Homo-oligomer: A and B are copies of this chain.
């Protein structure tokens, strides 16, 4: 298991760099005979694609993957599915000075030390957010296989710059409203909240600054008992994957950190019977008890830090000259990557949930 690989029962191997010839993914171990709707896969990937609107980087890409193997007439064969996305519209010059002056908040400095200066620094290289495009390809396959089992995964922007979206009912979320989020240009439940978030992003951009936020992910239809003891729990496996999304600095489930300030009598979710099924009357446990799914909706949140690439001048150090300097980052950068990270969160969650479903016991 290397750093670009995810999964136990099937694996997703990502490859590429932001400005290499291509990026891509190999999805190995999926069952044979599963029909994949590639158009839907491409539409899903389109939700992450840059250049859609004023709120994201001006870089535009087709981002249409070429599927090289693994499918015949859109049906899985049991052989690894390899998808390649060519990198186009690349202007490496924008990043020329990054080599020696690390950008605050970026991987530049530790990568320089770790790789002895040999890592690809153009556009973030293999640390670029662009590496999430092949994750979306893999996740889109998994979402279709999950839906076959009655499982759906949704995400929305929970907050940006301190502005909150509406909160889905954690016990009985409005599925139509959640499904509608995926169709929106700006993935919030409340359009009014979304509008205020956009204003905050626009203002940050104007000031050469950036903002972060929180994404909430909800999955419904999960059977009881996915996940396992100790390190094999749903939270372990999801967090191990979700921290792979660039800029994620926190992961919490259910009532999360807020619930940790409460009394047990408040935070515990009572069991009741509803139509012959055991349910909880509220869902502060976020659908996970003892590392296993409870049958209630899975609810998790990830904290996405403000984009570290900002136009404002910042202090840094020239690593060759070993002297302090000031850095102004030019180039095309999202003042807020949260909206584009929403489908990525869905994709990563879907990959892990399908992997958990394939556990044999």
Contacts and interface: CB of A to CB of B under 8 A. Distances in A.
Contacts of A6: 231
A11 to B, nearest CB: 5
A211 interface: yes
A255 B24 CA distance: 32
Count identical subunits in the complex: 4
A262 to B, nearest CB: 6
A106 B290 contact: yes
Contacts of A82: 15-16, 22, 24, 84
Interface string A109-135: 111011111111000011100010000
A164 to B, nearest CB: 10
Given A107-B292, A212-B259, 14 more contacts: A1-B8, A3-B28, A3-B230, A3-B233, A20-B70, A75-B118, A104-B269, A104-B271, A105-B268, A105-B289, A109-B271, A235-B249, A250-B251, A257-B301
A102 B273 CA distance: 13
9 contacts: A3-B233, A32-B115, A77-B119, A77-B126, A106-B289, A110-B292, A114-B228, A249-B257, A273-B322
Given A105-B267, A209-B265, A13 B26 contact: yes
Given A15-B26, A249-B255, A273-B322, A268 B68 contact: no
B104 A270 contact: yes
B16 A273 contact: no
Contact of A304 (B126, B161, B260, B263): B260
A22 B113 contact: no
A97 interface: no
Interface stretch (A146-154, A165-173, A276-284): A276-284
Given A114-B225, A239-B239, A250-B253, A270 B323 contact: no
